[in-house]
Amino acid sequence: MNVQEYIDWHSTLGHDEFYNMCPDLADPKAIGLQHIGNVELPELGEIEVEGKNAEWRGVTHKYFAYSDDKLTDWAKHKWPELKFVKAKIQVQPDGVKVPPHLDLLGDYLTGVCKEIPWLRKVKHSLEQPGIDICQMIVAMEDQVPGQVFAFSDQEWNWKKGDCIRINTWRALHWTENKSGVDRPMIKITGIKEISKKSNVIT
């Protein structure tokens, strides 16, 4: 399979089909995350959260999302080794749970392929990724009891500014917020290397 075939496959997945198949696609022995350390958060001032009721594959999601040039510039400066950087704030409201899943990133790769069309021909699969995609999560506030960010092999406990890299294509992750307050995180996605090198975290 090459990247274009992977994108085509991803585009056919329905919402429920995607969540139902993720446990079978994941490696139950995969390491879920890598601790990066604590980072200085961007100065964004007062932000207006956008994207409420955003839909994916015909199903409404209750996450809020926010992104702008300042956020992306901060991520590019913080991780200059990454290319095709995307950054956004995701806010999980109280009472929202996201079931175990993988981030397959087909939509992200579609955008990258528009910038570098030759990427479509790179050999790529979940088991043997041809693209080293780095997806990181940065906590914007201290964890509050009732907030869960968990992986197949462990649960992440965080403080404000803590950063992890998630094992994007191999390890399941899921979240839940029963804290009574919103839970904001920054998600950064970028390409570290395009090669036959595996994206599995070791």
Q: Is 175 in a helix, a strand, or coil?
A: strand
What's the rounded Cα separation, in Å, for the pair 63 and 7? 24
DSSP class of 40? P
pTM for the structure as a whole: 0.89
pLDDT tens digits, 3-12: 999 999 999 9
In the prediction, which pLDDT does 14 show? 86
Residues 6+ apart with CB under 8 A from 45: none
User: CB within 8 A of 100, min separation 6: which ones?
Assistant: 19, 22, 23, 26, 152, 172, 173, 174
* Residues near 117 by beta carbon (within 8 Å), at least 6 away in sequence: none
73-125 tens-digit pLDDT: 999 999 999 999 999 998 999 999 999 999 999 999 999 999 999 999 999 99
With residues binned 3-state (H G I as helix, E B as strand, rest as coil), the percentages for the chain, rounded to 5, are 20, 35, 45
Distance CA 161, CA 105 (A): 24
Average pLDDT on 169-197 reads: 88
Query: What is the mean predicted confidence (pLDDT) over 16-35?
Result: 92
CATH no. of 3-194 = 2.60.120.10
Lowest mean pLDDT among 7-21, 59-73, 98-112: 59-73
pLDDT band at 198 (very low <50, low <70, confident <90, very high): very low
Pairing assessment for the beta strands 162-166 and 83-92 based on DSSP bridges: unpaired
